Amino acid sequence: MKNRVVITGIGAITPIGIGKDAFWNALLEGKSGIDKITRFDATEYTAQVAGEVHDFDPTEYIDKKESKRMDRCTQFAVAATKLAFEDSKMDLDREDRDRIGVIIGTGIGGIETLHNQYTTLFDKGPGRVSPFFIPMMIGNMAAGQTSIIFKLNGPSSCVVTACATGTNSIGDAFKLIQHGEAEVMVAGGTEACISPAAVAGFCSMKALCSDYNNEPQKASRPFDKKRSGFVMGEGAGVVILESLEHALERGAYIYAEVVGYGSNSDAYHITSPSPGGVQAAKCMEKALKDANLKPEQIDYINAHGTSTHLNDLTETAAIKSLFGKHAYELSVSSIKSMTGHLLGAAGGIECIATALTIDNNIMPPTINYTEPDEELDLDYVPNQAREKVVNVALSNSLGFGGHNACLILKKYVK
């Protein structure tokens, strides 16, 4: 018998709000977190907008001395974990910490630290490079520091699957609990990539939207005919997963049950999705099979929905291919229209949004949807949140390198 797995705690650090309530309320209001880049001078960049996290003070969550030894992406992860544990009302002093693990991934890792230390190396020489450079930069430190700070001795690892990272992290953690390898898992993704080198790299790929530098809040427009590239975002999304037995034993509030997980590869191209979304459809199908559900039981899809021409076209094609007639009866939306694309953290905050959708029976909108594309003809919940009883929902993540990941969440029923 496999253990049932539920979500009992939520930690969100996002461009539209810090904490579960601020994040969720902003989603329902259709609030955009996209604005001009302030973390560096982006005047000479073709894309000059991003979803930055404002009013984040790491010392509210982490000892001041320790916070200085962490890259911003690790700070986000630790802060989101603290918020998630607080939300779960779990008393760690009463728990078996050998049975609590961490899987927090990142797509890029400590790139801000990398940039700063290379500047120091070139300007001042090797003797001035920080002794904390390497442990601040390497991607696994989000999970490592989280394990250390909260004294969690269970399985600890870091997933790096580009934009599918957060979803793979939660899916892998789900499987560990399901098969009895852990009782509680801290899982999700983190990213702090609004730095000169990262933005320059994406600009050179022509992947970023550069058409709305003077109208930042209109830049991210998934599924809209005028979409022209994604908008970078930063932040972290972390959930507390527990076996149902453990959650009930301590009287935890349950947001949703995790019932299915699928993961596969396009094996096609380093950045472009495979034509027709064949493997993305198979990934969703794997998640449905894992959950023992039929396609027509899905009420809502939290789409990857990046606002690039190819992604939105491919994901829509994949949904239509798998769901057939039911594709026109379910609803689809992309919160990236508000948050931007948080890369390795995207799947984390989108899992949170999906759980809250199920818990509240309200679907967040796809904002900036003003001109339908003839090839994209599904219900994308345009511009305004909508009430709907959502019993089962699916969350997609599709990453560079061909990584596809899908989670299925369900209303908890005894």
DSSP string, 19-77: SHHHHHHHHHHT---EEE--SS--TTSS--EEE---S--GGGTS-HHHHTTS-HHHHHH
Q: What is the pLDDT of residue 137?
A: 97
Q: For 377-397, what is the mean pLDDT?
A: 98
Active-site residue, 341 included = yes
pLDDT at 23: 98
Q: What is the mean pLDDT of the chain?
A: 97
Residue 15 burial class via C-beta count within 10 angstroms: exposed 0-12, middle 13-18, buried 19 and up: buried
Please report the pLDDT score of residue 73 as a whole number. Answer: 98
- Residue of 341, 351, 403, 406 marked catalytic: 341
pLDDT reported for residue 103:
98
- Among residues 73, 158, 163, 406, which one is catalytic? 163
Q: pLDDT of 237-249, one tens digit each? A: 999 999 999 999 9
Which residue in this structure is represented by tokens 């601020």? 22
Q: Is 209 a catalytic residue?
A: no
Asked whether residue 414 carries a pLDDT value surpassing 90, the answer given is no
Work out the average pLDDT over 50-61: 97
Could you count the other beta carbons within 10 Å of the beta carbon of residue 27?
Answer: 28
**φ and ψ of 117, to 5 deg:** -75, -30
Average pLDDT over residues 93-118: 97
pLDDT in tens, 252-303: 999 999 999 999 999 999 999 999 999 999 999 999 999 999 999 999 999 9
Annotated catalytic residue: which of 158, 304, 351, 406? 304
What are the DSSP calls for 134-155, one per residue?
HHHHSTTHHHHHHHHHHT--S-
Question: For the residues 62-76, what does the mean pLDDT come to?
Answer: 97
Catalytic residue flag (residue 304)? yes
pLDDT of residue 1: 82
Q: What is the pLDDT of residue 230?
A: 98
Name the pTM for this structure.
0.97
Angle, vertex CA 67, rays to CA 63 and CA 70, nearest 5: 150
**Amino acid 27: pLDDT:** 98
- Checking if the pLDDT of 147 tops 90, the result is yes
The average pLDDT across 44-54 equals 98
pLDDT-derived band at 164 (thresholds 50, 70, 90) equals very high
- Average pLDDT for 336-357: 98
Residue 188 has pLDDT above 90, yes or no: yes
Q: Is residue 40's pLDDT more than 90? A: yes
164 phi and psi angles, rounded to 5 deg: -95, 0
